[in-house]
Structure 1
């Protein structure tokens, strides 16, 4: 029933987007819920380190419950992360379980540094649908140069241990992704491929579902980092964004924003502490027009 309902919502989203409908007859298909805006690292390619301390915190479970209660039956999935490290929120397991109880799929993206055996077991048993690990580089030198505050071997071992626990339980969930950033380093192609091959060997015979390779970028100009490609601003044709018709981003303090790339909160739509999810989602007439 949920699949049919989600499919019908996607059809509504498509036609609402094409027709530039200003008020939608549905709730967002996907939510980005910032369970924490804090982070335990200061990565070279992340905007989190530029967020002022007074704007960092964890989402309260009472507020989270209100959002999920309003979303239940309509929202397909929630990304329980945004600008920070979700595992810093001590209620993260309870948050995953509560969303699942409302038939909402859950996903988290983590640096994996805080993982331990106990937390890994809880995550595997929580009903979490997807977990992705962000890992910058195939070697200790590259990783620790970019992941300031993290240790290469320890974090890699955390991920391997998580996968072993998943294998031991026989669980297919969560769908597990390791995302690796490839940097333009002064290495021969043969050396680079050897490093990559050695890194991948760590996951042999383990239930890693997907390895994603990415190249670094500057978040549309938010970062000025040497050697990182810039987003091309001069395009022949710009395609209108679909986000106003299908998603909503909610910061840890309940404030809602149009886009998950709006790290500075420049386009506010409302506050979930004071307004309903439906009211905020439809407070975008000028934007959708």
Structure 2
């Protein structure tokens, strides 16, 4: 976890992935950016870059994301979209986690996304805990009530704003369920910088669950290991491990 563009080799890694037919999604806080990086990114054809913005004003965004510089991030995104021009690649989006702390700015975030000339905006209400009890306790204090009238009103307002601004809006307000089971253990894996293989990015911590290490075991052996088979069976039968439960809604 962390800011991917701290790795100066990332543009080359993304290019290599594209040449191998891999679709990629990159989340960034938008703080690390320069002209050289922009020229590399606009060459990508099969990569989706999501900028994490959790407010429509410096006050809210910087309160949630300590140490961030809201105006600098907006300049960086604006410069990248200018470099991209009329091209449709790479795909650019804003991703915002909506809580009690910023729900009042949801509609303004949609409008800001249009001003920045990105392709789409994602508003996420699901709060995962990475299998950590202390994070779960905090999440409960800021999680919005999806059944409240306030939520219904603001969500309708955000949808109307997106339609008016002609920008794609995705509202991520549901998680997995008994009928809509998690697909990660069958399709993907999260690989940490030290080679640890973890089932998904919502766990993302080998102290919570580690399936193996690529420097010690081949990915094929890890993928087909007993540990993976047990996890898949638990999810298939809805015997959900504790560290998975924050992704599920019943």
- Assess same fold via TM > 0.5: yes
Question: 1:178-221: per-residue Cα shift (whole Å, max 9, x none)?
Answer: 1123443599x7xx578447634532xx3x21012233635367
Match of 2:119 in 1: 209
Q: Cα distance, 1:276 vs. partner? A: 2.0
Q: Cα distance, 1:260 vs. partner? A: 2.1
Match of 1:163 in 2: 81
Alignment of 1:110-125 (within 5 A): 110-125=28-43
> Does the 8 Å contact 1:219/1:231 carry over to 2?
no
Alignment of 1:53-64 (within 5 A): none
Between the aligned partners of 1:214 and 1:155, the Cα distance in structure 2 is: 20
Q: Cα distance, 1:145 vs. partner? A: 0.4
Structure 1 moving runs of 4+ over 6 Å: none
SS across alignment from 1:100: helix
Q: Are residues 1:243 and 2:184 paired?
A: yes
Question: 1:124-181: per-residue Cα shift (whole Å, max 9, x none)?
Answer: 11445211111010111001101111111111111111111111xx432111111123
Scaled by the length of structure 1, the TM-score of the pair is: 0.59
> Does the 8 Å contact 1:137/1:183 carry over to 2?
no
Match of 1:255 in 2: 196
> Does the 8 Å contact 1:217/1:230 carry over to 2?
no
Scaled by the length of structure 2, the TM-score of the pair is: 0.68
Q: Which has the higher contact order (CA 8 A, sep 6+)?
A: 1
Root-mean-square deviation over aligned CA pairs: 3.0
Between the aligned partners of 1:186 and 1:129, the Cα distance in structure 2 is: 28
Match of 2:52 in 1: 134
Question: Which of 112, 123, 140 pairs up with 1:199?
Answer: 112
Between the aligned partners of 1:193 and 1:108, the Cα distance in structure 2 is: 22
Match of 2:89 in 1: 173
Q: Are residues 1:280 and 2:222 paired?
A: yes
After superposition, the Cα gap between the structure-2 partners of 1:215 and 1:281, relative to the gap in structure 1 and judged at 3 Å, is: same
Question: 1:11-45: per-residue Cα shift (whole Å, max 9, x none)?
Answer: xxxxxxxxxxxxxxxxxxxxxxxxxxxxxxxxxxx
Segments of structure 1 that go 5 or more residues without pairing to the other structure are: 1-82
Segments of structure 2 that go 5 or more residues without pairing to the other structure are: 147-176, 234-250
SS across alignment from 2:185: helix
